[in-house]
Amino acid sequence: MPAYRPPQIAASEITPKTIYMSRRNFIGAAAAAGIGLTFGGEALAAPLTAQPGPYKLNEKLTPKEAITTYNNFYEFGVGKEDPSQNSGAFKPTPWSVKVEGLVGKPKEFGLDEIMKMKLEERTYRMRCVEGWSMVIPWIGFPLSAILDKVDPLGSAKYVAFETVVRPEEMPGQGGLFQALPWPYVEGLRMDEARHPLTILAVGLYGETLPNQNGAPIRLVVPWKYGFKGIKSIVKIKLVEEQPQTTWKNSNAREYGFYSNVNPAVDHPRWSQATEQRIGEGGFFGTKRVDTLPFNGYADEVASLYAGMDLKANY
Amino acid sequence: MAFLPALPRKYHAASIWALYVIGLCPAAWYFYQAATGCLGFNPVKTFEHLLGIWALRLIIATLAITPLRDLFGINWVRYRRALGLLAFYYVAMHFSVYLLLDLQLNFGAVGGDIARRPYITIGFAALLCLIPLAVTSNNWSILKLGQGWVKLHKLIYLIAVAGAFHYVLAVKSVTAGPFIHVALIALLVAYRFVRRPILTWKRSRNGQPVRAAGR
């Protein structure tokens, strides 16, 4: 049975949202009203139009409120509600992403240019390494589209990503107890990075990304545990050696470079066989479902790891 | 020498019952919030974790009674049983939520967790150790067991250390919250090793005997 169904209804159409304008209209209207784009947090979430993408799930979407208030984004604190509560001062505009390293044409992409990429809506499962999951209607574009613009060299074997460091806007990056060393860094093998499922997301539920979800641009790799989806990206570097990744550096026994969703390989401290669907079932009837190999995307990506020992390369 | 005005003896019993009521308030409040959808989008886990954290806080309070009396002359020994029992109730609720609401009576998964996941093994062991302490927390047991009771109840130090390990091993990274709880437990358990010399020193300095009963 295929993991996906062909596109049916765009999530934006079933989202309880009254009017959808194009981003251009919004910016024009905002400028006309003298608002500008200097707001942080919710104020910035703007309607975003996108074509329905090729990947669609026949599963119930996780409510938007759950997706935007139950987050792991340690730059804003380690509690699930910390990112939504502590990210109000974060400024996702102006923004730019440097793409450099082993490329023919290194380039710094401004947010305006990024938002002009061909945006698609993609509904993906998101499986957190902690044992919970969501179904999220992202808006974004394939990572390969931006890689194509910088002429990767043949020697580039991996892609390294880096999150912004702004202790003054991200309370988790300051203070006495910091959960992780900053900047948060992640990486993918080149074939993983170029896989059509791998996207850079700039929105969800028909709007630009809220700060707590990694505004203004984040990685989404649906067959890997959620922490691979690095948020608020400022740098993408093509490299020859396997790059450093934050959670592996923090605890290599528990978190590997690949971190593919795998119910057969338990986290040393908890089982990965099942997952809890956030926002479903409530207090007295938590919904637990079986975790699927590669988070249900095995048909598309299992071949990337042919011949590899997935227990050793967790 | 006490820094606080003494509570008249006639209010002692009432104050202990009040402590039971106040001590159960966090659990009742969080349960109400969870049941009415006000505890976020993962109410089971949140409720489970809050019960565990309050259990640790009550264990910390239980362990603090003796140093409070030794070092500050505040005698709250009458509240120690209530604090210890409340800690037991919270641990029992913490486990019940895990069993009933989190794993939904999937005993295979519970058994697997206890056997294979060290932090759950440790936590479960601590729960088992708390049972004899709760069962023998009455005056009759104290009289009946004598010195044996004192020895048995030293298990609380092991339980406190196990609880601290359970907490630290359950979180992804040790931030301020876990650190403070664990540091307090470490401090309070470590105090027991230096208690004798401290009491001896105080006695020699004051030139008067200091009672050393109770732990």
* Residue found under tokens 């603090």: B64
3-state SS, residue B42: coil
The residues, ordered by sequence, that sit 6+ positions from A1 with a Cβ below 8 Å of its Cβ are none
Cβ–Cβ gap A179/B175 under 8 Å: yes
Q: Report d(CA A194, CA B202) in Å as an integer.
A: 72
In this prediction, residue B99 carries a pLDDT of 93
In this prediction, residue A9 carries a pLDDT of 53
In this prediction, residue A56 carries a pLDDT of 79
Q: How many CB atoms lie within 10 A of CB A209?
A: 26
Residue A118 belongs to a domain: yes
Query: What does the radius of gyration of chain B's CA atoms come to, in whole angstroms?
Result: 19
In this prediction, residue B211 carries a pLDDT of 58
Q: What is the pLDDT of residues B148-192, one digit of tens each?
A: 999 999 999 999 999 999 999 988 888 888 999 999 999 999 999
B7 confidence band (pLDDT: 50, 70, 90) = confident
Chain A residues touching residue B175 (CB < 8 angstroms): 78, 177-179
8 A C-beta contact, residue A145 and residue A34: no
In this prediction, residue A159 carries a pLDDT of 98
> Token pair of A263, please?
């119910």
Q: Report d(CA A270, CA A313) in Å as an integer.
A: 18
Within its chain, how far is the Cα of A153 from the centroid?
Answer: 25
Q: Which amino acid does the sequence have at A173?
A: Q
In this prediction, residue B116 carries a pLDDT of 87
Mean per-residue pLDDT, B11-31: 96
Chain B residues touching residue A130 (CB < 8 angstroms): 172
Chain B residues touching residue A270 (CB < 8 angstroms): 113, 117
Q: Is B172 on the interface with A (CB under 8 A)?
A: yes
In this prediction, residue A51 carries a pLDDT of 84
Chain A residues touching residue B112 (CB < 8 angstroms): 271
> Token pair of A159, please?
């892609």
0.90 cut: is pTM over it?
no
Beta bridge partners of residue A137, listed in sequence order: A123
In this prediction, residue B202 carries a pLDDT of 87
For residues A142-177, b (16+ Cβ closer than 10 Å) or e, as one string? Answer: bbbebbeebebeeebbbbbbbbbebeebbbbbeeee
Q: Report d(CA B16, CA B13) in Å as an integer.
A: 5
* Residue found under tokens 């479903």: A280
Q: Find, in chain A, the residue whose alpha carbon is nearest to that of B32.
A: A283
Q: Is B32 on the interface with A (CB under 8 A)?
A: no
Indicate the number of domains in chain A. 1
8 A C-beta contact, residue A227 and residue A247: yes
Cβ–Cβ gap A269/B118 under 8 Å: yes
Give the structural domain span for A267.
11-305
Q: Find, in chain B, the residue whose alpha carbon is nearest to that of A247.
A: B172
Residue A298 belongs to a domain: yes
Q: Which of B115, B142, B163, B144 is nearest to B214 (CA)?
A: B142
Chain A residues touching residue B41 (CB < 8 angstroms): 63, 65-66, 69-70, 80, 278-279
8 A C-beta contact, residue B101 and residue A286: yes
Query: What does the radius of gyration of chain A's CA atoms come to, in whole angstroms?
Result: 19
Q: Is B142 on the interface with A (CB under 8 A)?
A: no
Residue A241 belongs to a domain: yes
Q: Report d(CA A197, CA A199) in Å as an integer.
A: 6
3-state SS, residue B198: helix
Q: What is the CATH number of the domain that holds A197?
A: 3.90.420.10
Q: Is B139 on the interface with A (CB under 8 A)?
A: no
Q: Is the Cα torsion angle A5, A8, A10, A11 positive or negative in sign? A: negative
Q: Which amino acid does the sequence have at A290?
A: D
Q: Distances from the Cα of B140 to the Cαs of A285, B29, B86, B89, B144, in angstroms?
A: 42, 33, 19, 21, 6
Long-range contacts of B107-112 (CB under 8 A, 24+ apart): B109/A271, B109/A274, B112/A271
Range in A202-206, A217-221, B74-78, B209-213 with the lowest mean pLDDT: B209-213
* Residue found under tokens 């730059």: A75
In this prediction, residue B212 carries a pLDDT of 54
Q: Report d(CA A84, CA A86) in Å as an integer.
A: 6
Q: What are phi and psi of B116, to 5 degrees?
A: -105, -25
Q: How many CB atoms lie within 10 A of CB B139?
A: 8
Q: Report d(CA B17, CA B5) in Å as an integer.
A: 20
Question: If you write DSSP's letter for every residue of B134-156 in order, what string do you get?
Answer: HHT-SHHHHHHHTHHHHHHTTHH
* Full pLDDT tens readout for chain A, 314 residues: 445 554 455 555 554 444 444 444 444 444 444 443 444 344 457 888 888 888 878 899 999 999 999 999 999 999 999 999 999 999 999 999 999 999 999 999 999 999 999 999 999 999 999 999 999 999 999 999 999 999 999 999 999 999 999 999 999 999 888 889 999 999 999 999 999 999 999 999 999 999 999 999 999 999 999 999 999 999 999 999 999 999 999 999 999 999 999 999 999 888 899 999 998 888 888 888 999 999 999 999 999 999 999 999 99
In this prediction, residue A27 carries a pLDDT of 44
Average pLDDT of the residues of chain B: 91
Residue A1 belongs to a domain: no
Residue A2 belongs to a domain: no
Q: Any idea where the domains of chain B sit in the sequence?
A: 12-205
HEC secondary structure over chain A: CCCCECCCCCHHHHCCCCCCCCHHHHHHHHHHCCCCCCCCHHHHCCECCCEECCCECCCCCCCHHHHHHCCCCHHHCCCCCHHHHHCCCCCCCCCEEEEEECECCCEEEEHHHHHCCCCEEEEEEEECCCCEEEEEEEEEEEHHHHHHCCCECCCCCEEEEEECCCCCCCHHHCCCCCCCCCCCEEEEEHHHHHCCCCEEEEEECCEECCHHHCCCCEEECCCECHHHCCCCEEEEEEECCCCCCHHHHHCCCCCCCCCECCCCCCECCECCCEEEECCCCCCCCCCEEECCHHHHCHHHHHHHHCCCCCCCCC
Q: Is A278 on the interface with B (CB under 8 A)?
A: yes
8 A C-beta contact, residue A91 and residue A43: no
Cβ–Cβ gap B112/A271 under 8 Å: yes
User: Exposed, middle or buried: residue A1 (CB in 10 Å: 0-12, 13-18, 19+)?
Assistant: exposed
In this prediction, residue A32 carries a pLDDT of 44
Residue A312 belongs to a domain: no
Helix axes B118-135, B107-116, angle to 10 degrees: 100
Cβ–Cβ gap B173/A269 under 8 Å: no
Interface A–B counts its CB contacts (< 8 A) at: 68
In this prediction, residue B172 carries a pLDDT of 82
Cβ–Cβ gap B117/A278 under 8 Å: no
Q: Is B198 on the interface with A (CB under 8 A)?
A: no
Residue A194 belongs to a domain: yes
The residues, ordered by sequence, that sit 6+ positions from B194 with a Cβ below 8 Å of its Cβ are none
* Residue found under tokens 């109410």: B43
* Residue found under tokens 């993991």: A3
Residue A242 belongs to a domain: yes
